[in-house]
Amino acid sequence: MHDLDEKDFAILRRLQSDGRISNAALAESVGLSQSACSRRLALLESSGVIKGYHARVSNKALDHAMMAIVHISLSGQFTKTLAEFEAAVKRCPNILVCYLMSGEYDYILRVAARDLEDYERIHRDWLSALPHVVKINSSFSLREIVDRPNVGLG
């Protein structure tokens, strides 16, 4: 990755608020020529600063009204054990986020479900079938307070 300057941060801030903005409008809003803006944008993309563009679809619109936070403990933290678990997690469509953790649990997952019955199916068919799992602890979200796609940019 390259060192970011104020123009890069301005581009990133603008794209976070409107990822579909045209290059011409983006260039004007950050005070660059269109060609300079296009070059900077290409560099931000190729260096991995910008990981991609996507639509943030509401879980509620997809009938996933329930969000579960799931803590997972494995039988060990051997390289093979972690790799097998992580490969299996990637196949479960209801797992939105998976983090390898320090502390009491090995992984924390965010899982979307339609309702409690759907979560029971996910738990039975997916979570309980994940390799090397010895403990699953599920908590259910009562209300979403903050869901930021990115941290604020200086």
Residue 74: which H helix or E strand, with range? strand 66-74
Read off the DSSP letter of residue 130: S
- Confidence band of 31 (pLDDT split at 50, 70, 90): very high
Report pLDDT digits (tens) over 90-127. Answer: 999 999 999 999 999 999 999 999 999 999 999 999 99
Contact status, residue 110 vs residue 96, Cβ threshold 8 Å? yes
Domain boundaries in the chain?
6-46, 66-140
Predicted TM-score (pTM) of the model is 0.79
CATH number of 6-46: 1.10.10.10
Looking at residue 154, its pLDDT comes to 61
* Class of 66-140 in CATH: alpha beta
Q: Are strands 107-113 and 95-100 parallel, antiparallel or unpaired?
A: antiparallel
Mean per-residue pLDDT for 52-80?
A: 92
Exposed, middle or buried, 46 (CB in 10 Å: 0-12/13-18/19+)?
exposed
